[in-house]
Amino acid sequence: MADSKETAQIQKNGVKWISSLLLSIDKAFEELSKILLLIMIVIVCFQVFSRKLFSYTPTWSLDITIFLLIWFSFLGIAMGFRERIHLAFTSIQFSEKSNFYIEKLISIFEIVFSLILIVYGTKLMLNDFGQTIPTMGNLPIAYRTLAIPVSGVLILFYGIFQFFGVDLKRHKGLGGGH
Amino acid sequence: MDYTTIEIIVLTITFIGLMLIRVPISLCIVASTLVVFLMEDFGLELISHKMIDGLNNYALLTIPFFILAGQIMGEGGLAKRLIRFALLGFGRFKGGLAMVNCLACLLFGNISGSAAADMASVGTVMIPQMVKKGYSKEFATSLTISASIQGVVVPPSHNLILYALAYGASAPSINALFLAGVFPGFVICAILMIAGRFLAIKNGYTVNEIIPKEEHGKVIFDGIFSIMPCVIILGGIFTGWFTATEAGAIACLYAFIITFFFYKDISIKEFWPIILKTLRICSLVFFLMAASAAFSYVLTILRIPDMVTALLLGISSNPLILLFIIACLLILLSAPMDMAPLIMIMTPILKPVILNMHVDPLHFGIIMMLSLGIGLTIPPHGAVLFIGCALTDTPIGRAVRHMVPFYAILFICLMVIIYVPQLSLYLPHFMR
């Protein structure tokens, strides 16, 4: 008896440890996308001021902003899956029972979508090692494409958790976007 | 039945079927694209490729920038200041609060570029104020709902940016689209102000509100600093000093400094949650952008836009009649659906029709914005209507009954915009 209790305790601690690890990774990505947005603003402002005040247009600013934009977008897309805020057609109401199955079905679609992003995003990325961005120290554009599989992995996590009915929403009641 | 027809049918069924069971619309778009890709035997890397292509666009940055600037200003008490500014001009008239409401919505829309933000921010301050002065709650709500639609037409509307991006090749510049929205915004505001005042007086809401003389200086000062982002955006575009994207970044910087260091209505700790809200809106817009990039490619290979063009031109070849039909179609479609997906889906489909009729894409952009904007006030899925009702605890059915005269007014505005193309085209052509 005591043994099994102990094992259960260890298991519970293990699950806690893993879940807190996952949550902090998730949190880190969210903070990262906020910081990316701020960096993009700073770069574009810098570009305007340097052009107007010193007649100097940095060559790297455009490429680096687009690089950050792609990462920002794909991390944002993944976050949208966690918060379940992607626009959906909600004019029809279903019964509670069918809602249950529909939710599962939607999670399955999300998982399939995330797998496509992971598999084909990685394929695309591997092809992209040949091309480089000259203004960013010849960085292969594969590092930009990497955003797709990373976002795919995040969506896969959220999809699996949502399939088992775990609510991962961090923020309640954020306003709409029209 | 040839293979293309079967593909189109499968595409439609997949899209509508998934949409009905509440799969997120962007995901429906990806799924229906995927089905066609499989039937055409394309490699699925193409989907990832198209998705990243759709986001690989410098102009897309404009969207988070303007949303963030609008959010910072909005949270920082922008609505309050703009309303007092508008009160200074029109508060003294009979039914003046109705006019103030319309003007405040226009000014707020000029900074946030979003109807929902307009409704939430101006409505929170303005509706209680109107009720206190004897206006009925329903009248105040439906007036604010209608007036906030200006937010999607006037610059820096992020829906206009979506339109430019969805248009694809040879799209009008965002600068030109912003300029195109200026006069239509004024005209809608004028029509709403006149009609609002007329309805207010007819209903016996005649109490005015006068701002005491000693506060005039502060109100004007606050007002001017509050509409400055809009001056920066339009002024920068007018003088060619910077692009729309750069204007967005500068507007963010300005909003940050003025809100946290001068107005100080909110502390700098609020900045992080504001970014989060921006992130949320960007999240859904960007998913839509990425998904639609692949989708519009599928539309093109299936030649769907050509079919729609043939169908519509078969009804009539008169652009004036067709524009009317298209506007009505857009209003109908937008009743159950959200605005952004419709822009992304309908723009590439309707583009050849527009080109065939020699309608200026700038003019059409404004028509589309207003039609879909009207859709935001119509049940069963009117985002702005819902926000308005939630704000004032009004049942939706009751709000819709009070909206009826305003639907008529908004429709008149739409007709004016359609049949007077010079309104949309004068400024951008003048600047060219």
Q: What is the pLDDT along chain B (432 residues), one digit of tens a residue?
A: 788 889 999 999 999 999 888 888 899 999 999 999 999 888 888 888 888 888 888 888 999 999 999 889 888 888 889 999 999 888 888 888 999 999 999 999 998 888 988 998 999 999 999 999 889 999 999 999 999 999 999 988 989 999 999 998 888 889 899 999 999 999 999 999 999 999 999 998 888 888 888 888 889 988 898 888 888 888 888 888 888 889 999 999 999 999 999 888 888 888 998 999 899 888 988 999 899 888 888 988 888 999 999 999 898 888 889 999 999 999 999 988 889 899 999 999 999 999 999 999 999 999 999 999 999 999 878 889 998 999 888 888 899 999 999 999 999 999 999 999 999 999 988 876
H helices, E strands: number in chain B: 22, 0
For the ranges A95-109, A128-142, B172-186, B385-399, the lowest mean pLDDT is seen at: A128-142
Residue B48: list chain A partners with CB under 8 A.
116-117, 120-121, 123-124, 145, 148
Phi, psi of A139 (to 5 degrees): -70, 130
Q: How confident is the model at residue A8 (pLDDT cuts 50, 70, 90)?
A: low
Q: How confident is the model at residue A1 (pLDDT cuts 50, 70, 90)?
A: very low
d(CA B403, CA B387): 14
How far away is chain B from the Cα of A81, in angstroms, using its nearest Cα? 9
DSSP string covering B206-272, please? -------GGGHHHHHHHHHHHSHHHHHHHHHHHHTSS-HHHHHHHHHHHHHHIIIIII-SS-GGGHH
ipTM value for the complex: 0.86
Phi, psi of B393 (to 5 degrees): 60, 35
**Res. A118: pLDDT tops 90:** yes
How far away is chain B from the Cα of A91, in angstroms, using its nearest Cα? 6
d(CA A35, CA A44): 14
How far away is chain A from the Cα of B269, in angstroms, using its nearest Cα? 14
Token readout for B100 is: 């103030």
**Res. A62: pLDDT tops 50:** yes
d(CA B69, CA B85): 20
CB contact under 8 A, A178 and B338: yes
What chain B residue is nearest to A127 in terms of C-alpha separation?
A: B45
Strand partners, A139: A133
* pTM for the whole structure: 0.89
Token readout for A129 is: 């090692």
Token readout for B332 is: 């109908």
* Predicted local distance difference test score (pLDDT) of residue A3: 57
B-contacting residues of A 2-61, CB under 8 Å?
A: 30, 33-34, 37-38, 40-41, 44-45, 47-48, 52
Residue B337: list chain A partners with CB under 8 A.
89
Section A14-24 average pLDDT: 80
Question: Rounded to an integer, what is the distance from CA A17 to the centroid of its chain?
Answer: 22
For the ranges A53-62, A101-110, A114-123, B155-164, the lowest mean pLDDT is seen at: A53-62
Strand partners, A132: A140
Q: In this complex, is the C-beta atom of B30 within 8 Å of any C-beta atom belonging to chain A?
A: yes
**Do B283 and A76 form a contact (C-beta atoms < 8 A)?**
yes
Instruction: Calculate the average pLDDT of chain A.
Output: 84
- The residue assigned the tokens 């939706």 is B396
CB burial string B214-252: b at 16+ within 10 A, e below: eeeeebeebbeebbbbbebbbebbeeeebbbbbbbbbbb
**Res. A151: pLDDT tops 90:** yes
